Structure 1
Amino acid sequence: MSHMSPMGSQVNPRIRNNVLWWALSATATLAALSGCTEESAPEVAGVPATQICASTLDSSAAAALKRVSGTDEFAELEGESPAGGASNKFSLSGAVEGLHGTASERTQCTIYKADNKSGHPLIEIDFEAAASHPDTRSALKGNSQRTTVYSIGAYAATNANFGATLFFACSTKGPEGGNPYVKASMYSSGDQFAEEDTSRDRMIILNSLSRRLAEELGCAKEASLPAEAPAPMSQ
């Protein structure tokens, strides 16, 4: 089986659309509130980590999200995508439905700090069907300062650009045929993180959502994802 090269810089073009949508929404809200005083302007009501993104974070992942963000008040995108297509509101059923679709047809888990004023998401997590995965041994022999590899699923790693990737075995069928893997990707600008070293916490969060999606897909046994994310692998 041919393998993809280990991941490099992860930049999700849909983040730019979501940031624009968030900024436009904030502008519209401010315009509507122009008659209010600064003291009376309402703030975004946040929800705890255990309730964000369809309550897909287990206790370890919720604690990891609080560590990387420095808060336990979060918000996520709702409504329709500005470009049309999938709903911005994350759900496991929506993630399953969009696995074989384009980025605009998939439903992402996009998390913001509730008090965020920049419009930048804390993290965004996306799921898609995949035909292959990177090679773990090649990743370990590569630039270890940029890629941190974990023994989770078929392949799992974080990178120095605040991204993370996890491939797990799960056979699915789409309009163009079947795929043996599901790829979970995490994207972030990194400017919302409260910690510098977030690699393991990012993987704990990604593993938790991936486990829940594998259960929803009925392939939890095939995926064989651990209940607790292990420490990084060494060469």
Structure 2
Amino acid sequence: MKQVLIIEDDNNIAALERDYLQLNGFKVDIEQEGVSGLKKALLGIYDVVVVDLMLPGKDGYGIVKEIRDKFEIPIIIVSAKNEDIDKIRGLGFGADDYLTKPFSPAELVARIKSHIIRYERLSGKKVALELISHKAMEIQTDSHKVFVNGKEVLLTTKEYELLVFLASNPNIVFTKDQIFSNIWGEDYCGDTATVAVHIQKLRKKIEKDSGNPDYIETIWGTGYRFNS
């Protein structure tokens, strides 16, 4: 079970983050003060640290820097500070991601899962076998193989990453911006139009009728949802 440390002084936000993460199979600890939060983070037992910037005792920037000096684990900043300079500074200190309050807790969970997968892939750690099954679809994440009705479906890298992201977060509506940020990253030279293109290609490969999809549903005016 993956462990997440939340360093957040707002009880309501911390509890909301914890509840969503626990529902998705994570073990969660909460610290509400900067110094104690950093001390716990440096124990080296966590897979991800989620940290606010404005904290009593020690601010989030210092926490991020000290964690990054010792560990390469994913660090996600969640803050009400929404100026570009704050984001640039936080990422510059070593954070992997930056979410601005208010935010969707489902998006936080999705980003945490995505960063864990990337970290384990880049660090060479073996990712434990995970089988994602929905209806007639089976995704084998260790071998990156997808089967529909027992027949293997060949996907491009981005199509696979898109499918895993959506299938790992069933029944949650994601906007094109959220999907684009999680799959392509904010530094990618492109726009959200590529999301619709990849969804269309993916549907042709996994859906019995791409015009009337069973799995990836379009929520008009909002985005997409994977139906489990």
Scaled by the length of structure 2, the TM-score of the pair is: 0.30
Counting helix residues as a fraction of each chain, which structure ranks higher? 2
Scaled by the length of structure 1, the TM-score of the pair is: 0.30
